[in-house]
Chains A and B, each alone.
Chain A
């Protein structure tokens, strides 16, 4: 109807949604979330963080304790799942085992009472899109896991739902197939412009696929940002730890943008949370930002942070090599560099210094749960 008018409006608007179970268990704390039309949003978090609960609330399978759900501008809070015009892809495919691939894909069209010739046209087109035109007469159990998941994708896109929910859709596939399916889903998203909400606990999957990542922890949204921003500008210790590898140093703020390690070295902070003098502050440095230099070498980085340390181990993981270094304050940090033949191989026990730029140093907010406890 007023589709055009909706562009720029959120496709999904969650307002004050919360879910509590009996016995005071909070599955989801009060949260607001907007998803724009055509956006690919990943809900990322460890298991039990509330992301699947949220997906079930949006689908209408679990009623929220509070709050409202608007989809395409309409209040859906009290509508049954069948009236919400959504699509959902499950981890275990949830195909109808007694129906052929064709009938599975035709099912949503049949319950919508479309004319038979329209059904044929749409189903054929969608099956070609997921490259399963040849398998339409087969039963789900005769297909591989990847093929079954493609049928389940086809079954969603065939009726053009306003939003597709995906609940760990690739969790049951092996690594190689998973990567293949990731790019297939990306391709479908690009060609069709569908809005997708994608639940995963796999950070790489979220980073590589989503336009925006919503990070969940203990029933709350801790941060939402683009993959790059979430990686480079994590707000809290949890966000920094959950995405990518990280070195987190505990320091004390000693001035504006300056902190001090327990062992006395001062560290310049490039970005992040505001720090208060004499208060403890957690500092993030990504492993690939650390450089290891000889102890006696003069650092050529002018604004460099530099901490003395001792090599613990060096491990070649293929194209990258990880060095673990015990630094002066007693913590072990990891430095990652591209593997290459160098004039000097670091040996365990060797005295070194670890340096990095102030711009790569980020002050983190403590986790909220730490505040509570």
Chain B
């Protein structure tokens, strides 16, 4: 029913973005891939040495462990929070939305720095428990610190898709079940939870993939043993100055993300975003 004849030219409006993305995204990506095979001459050696290196293997495992455990704990927060938000009146929901949106848009550096103040040796938590005579706990510069920081970033990220799928469900379904005599808990378990599962699955995988590339959290809140793949890329680029290795690790990180992206069919979810 909509205008087509006069608007075929509208397709040309996409050209600047296509050109920009090709030049600034595809070309650099190509140079990463090229660099991963280039060490003064063409080589595939870097892939063998990366994969067989114990440092890389440890970092690879770190990345998966930190990503999945953080995503899992974040989901334990995000789902009840999204459910709580979905039940509120639109006015109150808008307020809670602000509470979630502000940390979402706050710099990762600010969040990490604040967590350093809270979790540090002289931080709020340790000062408090020492006041009660409990010895200080190691909360910072270790795995715990990284996971707390990652969770903090992931919660808002995960709330939005879950909240959308909760709000998108037929609001009369719950009421219908209630009229038929089901209790609130039963309604939740039999109606709400199953219907929101696609949103939960999407947000879980989306968040996990997002976390694979985390860099700042691990380098500020973690210890030497908590390096993630992005940190390793940085290490090879700036300290070891081995671009060939850095590029190889970047390609492997890219492949890891791509595999999980294809796995969840996020590609389709994304294209619906822009209509």
Say if the two chains contact directly (CB < 8 Å): yes
The answer to whether B2 has its CB under 8 Å from any CB of chain A is yes
Cβ of A82 within 8 Å of any chain B Cβ, yes or no, is yes
The answer for the CA separation of A278 and B6 in the assembled complex, in Å, is 56
B224: Cβ under 8 A from any A Cβ: no
In the complex, what residues of A have CB within 8 A of residue B1's CB?
52-53, 56, 61-62
Contact A81 B6 (CB under 8 A): yes
CA separation between A62 and B1, bound complex, in Å?
A: 7
Q: A27's closest neighbor in chain B, by CB?
A: B1
Instruction: Report which of A52, A53, A56, A80 forms a contact with B6, defined as CB distance below 8 A.
Output: A80
Chain A neighbourhood of B6, CB < 8 A: 60-61, 80-82
Total cross-chain contacts (CB, 8 A) = 22
- List chain A residues, Cβ under 8 A from B3: 61, 81
Interface residues in B1-36 by Cβ distance below 8 A to A read 1-6
Q: Which residues of the partner chain B approach A80 to less than 8 Å between Cβ atoms?
A: 5-6
Kindly list chain B residues whose C-beta atoms are within 8 Å of the C-beta of A53: 1
Q: How far is the CA of A301 from the CA of B3 in the complex (A)?
A: 59
Question: Binary interface profile of A, 41-64, with partner B (CB < 8 Å = 1, else 0)?
Answer: 000000000001100100011110
The number of residues on chain B lying at the interface, defined by a beta carbon within 8 Å of a beta carbon of chain A, is 6
- Bitwise, A282-317 to B at CB < 8 A (1) or not (0) is 000000000000000000000000000000000000
In the assembled complex, the Cα of A60 lies from the Cα of B2 at a distance in Å of 10
**How far in angstroms is the closest Cβ of chain A from B12?**
15
The distance in angstroms between the C-alpha atoms of A238 and B4, with both chains bound, is: 34
The residue in B1, B2, B3, B5 that gathers the most chain A C-beta atoms within 10 A of its C-beta is B5
Chain B residues numbered 202-238 whose CB sits less than 8 Å from any CB in chain A: none
User: Which of A52, A56, A61, A82 has the most CB atoms of chain B within a 10 A radius of its CB?
Assistant: A61
CA distance A56 to B1 in the complex (A): 7
Q: Give complex CA distance A82, B3 in Å.
A: 11
| Minimal beta-carbon separation of A266 from chain B (angstroms) | 51
Report B-chain residues with C-beta under 8 Å of the C-beta of A60: 5-6
* Cα of A255 to Cα of B6 in the assembled complex, Å: 59
In the complex, what residues of B have CB within 8 A of residue A61's CB? 1-6
* CB interface residues, A 57-85, toward B, < 8 Å: 60-63, 80-82
Bound form: Cα–Cα A60–B6 in Å: 8
Residues of B within 8 A of A62 (CB): 1, 4-5
Per-residue contact bits, chain B 115-138, to A (CB 8 Å; 1 contact, 0 not): 000000000000000000000000
A52 to B2: give the CA distance in the assembly, Å.
Answer: 12
User: Chain B nearest CB: distance from A342 CB in Å?
Assistant: 52
Which residues of the other chain, B, contact A82 by a CB distance below 8 angstroms? 6
Residue of B nearest to A83 (CB): B6
Residue of A nearest to B6 (CB): A80
Docked complex Cα distance between A63 and B4 (Å): 8
By beta carbon, the residue of chain A nearest B1 is A56
CA–CA, A53 and B2, complex, Å: 10
Determine which residue in A52, A56, A80, A81 has the highest number of CB atoms from chain B within 10 A of its CB, and name it: A80
Q: From residue 47 to 89 of chain B, which have CB atoms closer than 8 A to chain A?
A: none
In the bound complex, what is the Cα–Cα distance between A63 and B1 (angstroms)?
10
**CA–CA, A60 and B5, complex, Å:** 7
Give complex CA distance A80, B4 in Å: 9
User: Min CB distance, B9 to chain A, in Å?
Assistant: 9
The distance from the CB of A308 to the nearest CB of chain B, in whole angstroms, is: 53
The CA-CA distance from A61 to B6 in the complex, in Å, is 7
Measured in the bound complex, the distance between the Cα atoms of B3 and A360 in whole Å is: 47
Contact pattern, A 121-165, Cβ under 8 Å of B = 1, otherwise 0: 000000000000000000000000000000000000000000000
Taking CB as reference atom, which chain B residue is nearest A59? B3
Complex interface: chain A residues within 8 A of B2 (CB): 61
Complex Cα gap A220–B211 (Å): 59
- The A66-110 residues at the B interface (CB cut-off 8 A) are 80-82
Whole-angstrom distance from the CB of A25 to the nearest CB of chain B?
13
Residue of chain A at shortest CB distance from B2: A61
Q: What is the bound-complex CA distance between A63 and B6, given in angstroms?
A: 10
Residues in B with CB closer than 8 Å to A52 are 1
Q: How far is the CB of B192 from chain A (nearest CB, A)?
A: 36
A81–B8 CA distance with the chains assembled, in angstroms: 12
A115 to chain B, nearest CB (A): 26
Chain B hits for A81, CB < 8 A: 3, 5-6
Q: How far is the CB of B11 from chain A (nearest CB, A)?
A: 15
Q: Could you tell me the distance between the alpha carbons of A88 and B5 in the complex, rounded to whole angstroms? A: 17
A60 vs B3: C-alpha distance when bound (angstroms): 8
Say how far B4's CB is from chain A's closest CB, in angstroms.
7
Bound-complex Cα distance A136 to B1 (A)? 32
Min C-beta distance of B7 to chain A, whole Å = 8
A52 CA to B6 CA, complexed, in Å: 18
Chain A, 167-203, contact with B by CB distance < 8 Å: what is the 0/1 string? Answer: 0000000000000000000000000000000000000
Residues of A within 8 A of B4 (CB): 61-63
Q: Bound state CA distance, A120 and B5, in angstroms?
A: 32
Give chain A nearest CB distance to B138 CB in angstroms: 59
Bound CA–CA A80/B5 (angstroms):
6
Q: Once bound together, how far apart are the Cα atoms of A82 and B5, in whole Å?
A: 10
Nearest-Cβ distance from residue B216 to partner chain A, whole angstroms: 42
- Please give the distance in Å from A175's CB to the nearest CB on chain B: 27
Closest to A61 in B: B3
> Residues of A contacting B5 with CB < 8 Å?
60-63, 80-81
A53 to B5, CA, bound (A): 14
A5 to chain B, nearest CB (A): 29
CB B3 to nearest CB in A, in angstroms, measures 5
Interface residues of A (CB under 8 A from B): 52-53, 56, 60-63, 80-82
Q: Could you pull out 20 A-B pairs where Cβ atoms are within 8 angstroms?
A: A52-B1, A56-B1, A60-B5, A60-B6, A61-B1, A61-B2, A61-B3, A61-B4, A61-B5, A61-B6, A62-B1, A62-B4, A62-B5, A63-B4, A63-B5, A80-B5, A80-B6, A81-B3, A81-B6, A82-B6
**5 residue pairs, one from A and one from B, having the closest CB atoms:** A80-B6, A61-B3, A81-B6, A60-B5, A80-B5
